[in-house]
């Protein structure tokens, strides 16, 4: 059941910052001319669009930039290039800064080029270069240089587009232009740098286009030398591996000889990947030893150690993975990835009650406080203190965990532990407090205000006016622009965007907006944001179906809602890459089997996109899994995510003193995180919805920031040379996949 706009409005403090003023009917009517102008533009009625936009500009000055942007487009289509410039100037002069500055500048540059005013175009593109989206900015600069007769500079910027943005449509335009420029310059044509050529191939690898990357590398190798040539030759094998041609990659990389040290380390790393994929496990250890002998400190060795160790965890082979994690933690202790290796050793000691478990847990917290596993370590340190009978130290650990990681699975466990009378009655141990205070925890910004400052209030007012005229895309664009550029107010814009989405019955989009524009929201304690904000972040649409079928199956409806939030984010029509359908992400084959229980003989896949049917079948499936695992929710979630076969295997890896130990033993990073997230979600849902009023502390509002707080743009230097960000990369696209 979607929240209403009214339900999503929090109570303002007595001295609240200025709120957007309600617009008079006259202003709303004037702004409606913008909607008419936009409609005329979309229909190709350019003269009418320009006329309506011009009228709107005078009658709705608060939205003059919208009107003038529409007019500029219409005048450009009519080839009235001088009028485009006039409209552009009014967009540039808008206060607050218009979201259309970049797009309008690009349009004005094109108008100058088409109107045979290349010098004016060059001046304009230089002035607004940082505002125009890439790669359009580089392409327009190249065209302006070419039009003014500066072919060498044009070549440089066409090359920037072609090599840095190979999958963009502008790359095709740049490629065509480069042919002309090269013919014009002849021997004076500046050849692309080796780094640029490698960058293009690397970008294609990142875009999951290994075949295209292979073509680029093969063409580049004859033109390269030294380090770049060695790197390119190694990556020929890599793209074969990424394309699934493991045997070909193995043969090629085995025969390949390179001189450059890091290139050879990269080659050996990929050979190890090939060997593991080919199930030649016996050959892995000698290859790792060779990599250690030849390149002991190479980051490629670190990647290989983690990859093989993680794979060995999947095989439950501690004799293999423990020495590898140990080598990783010892040799690369300053690398952030070493935190993972150290944690695997630490948890192994904890599970086995090893003599060094206490020191290992403290070391994990002290050495790697920025690691995502720091909150795991805090929890298990508290549990270890409990087993030792030191409830006061356990209390200190749990308090710190809740304070630093308020909305995590382990913080929910810590709150449960604090309900134990012995622990709740204990006073935090001063010695443990001293240790925890000595940890260099990562600094976090103060939690921001949910009241709009001066600029945010202006943007909210403009967005509401646009929304009332039916220009929803423009309204949301205004808020998105503010979120990207108005520092410390991202959550204000996210909140407003989410309310707009819910108003048009799109709770899944509301959730997306909060994640996108208030990305640190889970670091906030629940009393740092209004309850309606949390209800937008943790919505419960289709509540009637969820409660009805959960009740029929004896399930906690908030656990089901939590699972749906993670599976589909409440998008009833979503179909995954794995062909899973709807809210609870059911495969059609599974859905057909489940439907028979309800007397449905012919269930079509499209029926799984009906929310009510999907929840009916999904809850029945979850209940069946839960029963098969003796009511163990954590194992059931593992099965739901990774499949019954894997969950059945992992549960034999015990004994486990508590469910948290089982979760921490799961070798799939995705599944381990999935279980924790769903259980965390369920806890938040219960606190928000289980009672007649939310079971959360009262919201503590903060005053809006004063003055303007601009986010610093990422500067793009016009004079910078073509440099590859990946020409000497230390990590590959495999790095993250190796841990998932």
Q: What residues are labeled active site? A: 567
CA 568 to chain centre: 16
Please state, in angstroms and rounded to a whole number, the distance separating the CA atoms of residues 53 and 471.
14
Which residue is listed with tokens 């093989």?
Answer: 308
Which residue is listed with tokens 């890091």?
Answer: 262
- Give yes or no for a contact between 603 and 591, defined as CB atoms under 8 angstroms apart: yes
DSSP per residue, 313-333 = HHTT-HHHHHHHHHHHHHHST
DSSP per residue, 136-205 = HHHHHHHHHHHHTT-HHHHHHHHHHHHHH-TTSHHHHHHHHHHHHHHHHHGGGSPPPPHHHHHHHHHHHH
The one-character DSSP state at 518 is S
- Give yes or no for a contact between 323 and 285, defined as CB atoms under 8 angstroms apart: no
Please state, in angstroms and rounded to a whole number, the distance separating the CA atoms of residues 676 and 690.
20
Two tokens, residue 614: 């999907």
Tally Cβ neighbours within 10 Å of residue 544. Answer: 12
Burial classification of residue 554, based on how many CB atoms lie within 10 Å of its CB (0-12 exposed, 13-18 middle, 19 or more buried): exposed
Largest Cα separation within the chain, whole Å, is 84
Sign of the alpha-carbon dihedral angle for 10, 13, 14, 15: negative
The phi, psi pair for 710, rounded to 5°, reads -90, 140
Choose among 533, 532, 488: nearest CA to 515: 533
The dihedral over CA atoms of 620, 621, 622, 627, expressed in degrees to the nearest 10, equals 90
Residue 148: which residues within 8 A CB-CB, separation 6 or more?
118, 119, 122
Which residue is listed with tokens 């600029």?
Answer: 455
The phi, psi pair for 586, rounded to 5°, reads -100, 140
Report cis status (omega within 30 of 0) of the bond before 135.
yes
Two tokens, residue 502: 């819910």
CA 313 to chain centre: 27
- Give yes or no for a contact between 527 and 699, defined as CB atoms under 8 angstroms apart: yes
Please state, in angstroms and rounded to a whole number, the distance separating the CA atoms of residues 656 and 674.
19
SS (H, E, C) 357-416: HHHHHHHHHHHCCCCCCHHHHHHHHHHHHHHCCCHHHHHHHHHHHHHHCCCCHHHHHHHH
3-state helix vs strand vs coil in the chain, percent to 5: 65, 0, 30
Burial classification of residue 444, based on how many CB atoms lie within 10 Å of its CB (0-12 exposed, 13-18 middle, 19 or more buried): exposed
Please state, in angstroms and rounded to a whole number, the distance separating the CA atoms of residues 250 and 273.
9
The one-character DSSP state at 448 is P
Residues forming a β-bridge with 486: 710
Two tokens, residue 288: 């790792």
For 192, 199, 208, 425, 479, the CA distances from 172, given in Å and listed in that order, are 17, 17, 19, 70, 33
Two tokens, residue 410: 């382990």
Tally Cβ neighbours within 10 Å of residue 612. Answer: 15
The phi, psi pair for 738, rounded to 5°, reads -65, -20
Choose among 290, 232, 246: nearest CA to 265: 290
């Amino acid at each position: 059941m979607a929240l209403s706009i009214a339900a999503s409005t929090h109570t303002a403090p007595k001295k609240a910052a200025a709120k957007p003023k309600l617009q008079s009917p006259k202003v709303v009517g004037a702004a409606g001319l913008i909607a008419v102008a936009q409609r005329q533009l979309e229909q190709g009625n350019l003269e009418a669009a320009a006329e309506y936009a011009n009228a709107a500009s005078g009658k709705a000055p608060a939205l003059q930039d919208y009107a003038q942007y529409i007019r500029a487009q219409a005048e450009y289509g009519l080839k009235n290039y001088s009028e485009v410039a006039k409209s552009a100037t009014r967009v540039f002069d808008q206060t607050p800064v218009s979201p259309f500055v970049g797009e309008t500048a690009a349009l004005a540059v094109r108008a100058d080029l088409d109107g045979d005013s290349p010098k004016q175009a060059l001046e304009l593109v230089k002035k607004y270069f940082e505002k125009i989206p890439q790669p359009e900015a580089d392409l327009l600069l190249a065209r302006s240089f070419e039009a003014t007769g500066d072919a060498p500079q044009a070549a440089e910027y066409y090359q920037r587009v072609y090599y840095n943005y190979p999958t963009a449509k502008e790359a095709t335009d740049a490629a065509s232009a480069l042919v002309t420029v090269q013919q014009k310059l002849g021997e004076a044509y500046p050849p692309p740098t080796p780094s640029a050529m490698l960058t293009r191939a690397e970008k294609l690898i990142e875009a999951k286009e290994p075949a295209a990357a292979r073509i680029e590398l093969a063409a580049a190798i004859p033109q390269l030398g030294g380090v770049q040539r060695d790197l390119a030759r190694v990556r020929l094998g890599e793209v074969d591996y990424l394309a699934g041609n493991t045997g070909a990659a193995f043969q090629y990389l085995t025969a390949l000889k390179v001189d450059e040290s890091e290139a050879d380390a990269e080659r050996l790393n990929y050979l190890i990947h090939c060997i593991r994929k080919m199930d030649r496990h016996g050959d892995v250890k000698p290859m790792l030893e060779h990599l250690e002998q030849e390149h002991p400190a190479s980051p490629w060795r670190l990647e290989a150690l983690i990859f093989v160790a993680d794979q060995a965890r999947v095989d439950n082979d501690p004799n293999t993975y423990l020495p590898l994690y140990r080598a990783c933690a010892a040799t690369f202790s300053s690398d952030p990835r070493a935190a993972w290796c150290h944690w695997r050793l630490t948890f192994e000691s904890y599970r086995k009650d090893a003599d060094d478990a206490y020191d290992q847990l403290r070391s994990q917290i002290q050495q790697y406080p920025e690691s995502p596993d720091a909150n795991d370590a805090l929890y298990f340190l508290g549990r270890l203190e409990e087993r030792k009978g030191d409830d006061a130290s356990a209390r200190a650990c749990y308090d710190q965990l809740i304070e630093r990681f308020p909305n995590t699975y382990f913080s929910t466990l810590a709150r449960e532990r604090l309900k134990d009378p012995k622990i709740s009655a204990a006073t935090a141990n001063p010695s443990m407090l001293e240790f925890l205070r000595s940890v260099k925890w990562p600094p976090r910004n103060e939690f921001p205000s949910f009241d709009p400052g001066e600029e945010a209030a202006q943007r909210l007012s403009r967005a509401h006016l646009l929304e009332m005229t039916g220009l929803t895309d423009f309204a949301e664009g205004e808020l998105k622009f503010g979120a990207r550029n108005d520092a410390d107010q991202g959550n204000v814009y996210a909140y407003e965007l989410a309310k707009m989405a819910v108003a048009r019955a799109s709770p899944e989009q509301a959730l997306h907006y909060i994640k996108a524009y208030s990305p640190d929201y889970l670091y906030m304690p629940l009393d740092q944001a209004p309850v309606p904000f949390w209800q937008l972040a943790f919505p419960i649409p289709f509540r009637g179906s969820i409660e009805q079928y959960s009740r029929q199956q004896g399930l906690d409806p908030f656990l089901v809602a939590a699972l749906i939030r993670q599976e589909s984010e409440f998008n009833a029509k979503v179909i995954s890459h794995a062909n899973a359908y709807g809210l609870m992400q059911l495969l059609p084959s599974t859905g057909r089997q489940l439907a028979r229980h309800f007397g449905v003989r012919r269930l079509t896949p499209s029926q799984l996109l009906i929310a009510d049917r999907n929840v009916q079948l999904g809850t029945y499936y979850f209940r069946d899994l839960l029963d098969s695992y003796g009511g163990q929710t954590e194992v059931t979630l593992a099965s739901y995510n990774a499949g019954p076969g894997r969950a059945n295997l992992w549960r034999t890896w015990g004994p486990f003193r508590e469910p948290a130990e089982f979760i921490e033993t799961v070798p799939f990073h995705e599944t381990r995180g999935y279980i924790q997230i769903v259980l965390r979600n369920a806890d938040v849902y219960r606190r928000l919805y289980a009672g007649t009023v939310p079971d959360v502390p009262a919201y503590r509002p903060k005053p809006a920031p004063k003055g303007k707080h601009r986010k610093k743009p990422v500067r793009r230097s016009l004079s910078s040379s073509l440099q590859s960000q990946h020409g000497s990369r230390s990590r590959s696209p495999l790095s993250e996949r190796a841990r998932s």
